[in-house]
Amino acid sequence: MLTPDELTAVWLSAKVALSATLLCLPLGIAVSWLLARRRFPGKVLLDVLVQLPMVLPPVVPGYLLLVVLGTQGVVGAWLLERFGITLAFTWKGAVLASAVMAFPLMVQPVRLAFGMIDRRLEQAATTLGATPWRAFFTVTLPLAVPGIIAGAVLCFSRSLGEFGATMAFVGNIPGETRTLPLAIYTYMHVPGGEAPSQRLAWLSIAIAFVALLAAHGISRRAERLLGYRSHADP
């Protein structure tokens, strides 16, 4: 059905999107919690910074990543010299570009979920001998699971579709950074590429569809387990 080149692009996309989601999860949970529950100087700035990739043209974050983390960049040169790590024009760089672009989509639902949890539940936990950390892991975090699932799926789906920042930061290298959208774009520009572009486009739609359906099912199940009641009309 798919040629080896197409398959490579699909697997690379899955690898990049999954890694980006795993990268965003812990950081996204921490930042969402800070934004939902804490007051601190510079909070508005952090909020704006987190949302920024969503409103910028995607090439701009990609360009900035290249300037900072490219082999000639301040941080990039140091990473290469000190640890021998290269991000620009590698699949790890594609993960980073996807993560930066998808991060706002992770933060929004998780932050909303934290905001909706009654703080007196956490207080109840501390009056029963739980330290604030333990109250977070036994009460707050489990109650936020439906929001975290929603955030992870949005993050994964956004990462699958990442194009602009990836192109700018890591280019379009077959087998290394040519993910699904880049492969489709490439096929569109070569003679006889209509059929593969179409196949990959349909595949993208199918993957997105299945991911959203799965997320819907999982979060419904999580809500039921957590004792949420549906407020929708029967």
Taking the least distance from each CB to another protein, the nearer of 131 and 198 is 131
Beta carbon of residue 37, minimum distance to another protein (angstroms, whole number):
15
> Who contacts 148 (Cβ-Cβ below 8 Å, separation ≥6)?
25, 29, 109, 110, 113, 141
Taking the least distance from each CB to another protein, the nearer of 4 and 129 is 129
Neighbours of 165 (CB within 10 A): 29
Does the protein bind another protein through residue 225 (CB under 8 A)?
Answer: yes
Instruction: Identify residues 36-95 at the interface with another protein (CB under 8 A).
Output: none
Does the protein bind another protein through residue 143 (CB under 8 A)?
Answer: yes
The residue within the footprint of another protein, chosen from 18, 51, 142, 172 (CB under 8 A), is 142
Q: Which residue has the tokens 């956004």?
A: 158
Closest CA to 104 of 116, 112, 93: 112
Does the protein bind another protein through residue 129 (CB under 8 A)?
Answer: yes
Does the protein bind another protein through residue 125 (CB under 8 A)?
Answer: yes
Taking the least distance from each CB to another protein, the nearer of 124 and 214 is 124
The residue within the footprint of another protein, chosen from 30, 43, 118, 206 (CB under 8 A), is 118
Does the protein bind another protein through residue 218 (CB under 8 A)?
Answer: no
The span of 50-58, 60-68, 101-109, 114-122 binding another protein (CB under 8 A) equals 114-122
Closest CA to 109 of 61, 150, 164, 141: 150
How far apart, in whole angstroms, are the C-alpha atoms of residue 162 and residue 96?
11
How far apart, in whole angstroms, are the C-alpha atoms of residue 208 and residue 205?
5
Taking the least distance from each CB to another protein, the nearer of 25 and 141 is 141
Taking the least distance from each CB to another protein, the nearer of 72 and 126 is 126
Taking the least distance from each CB to another protein, the nearer of 102 and 143 is 143
The residue within the footprint of another protein, chosen from 3, 72, 127, 198 (CB under 8 A), is 127
Does the protein bind another protein through residue 171 (CB under 8 A)?
Answer: no
Neighbours of 36 (CB within 10 A): 18
Residue numbers at the binding site for another protein (CB under 8 A): 118, 120-121, 123-132, 138-139, 142-143, 225-229
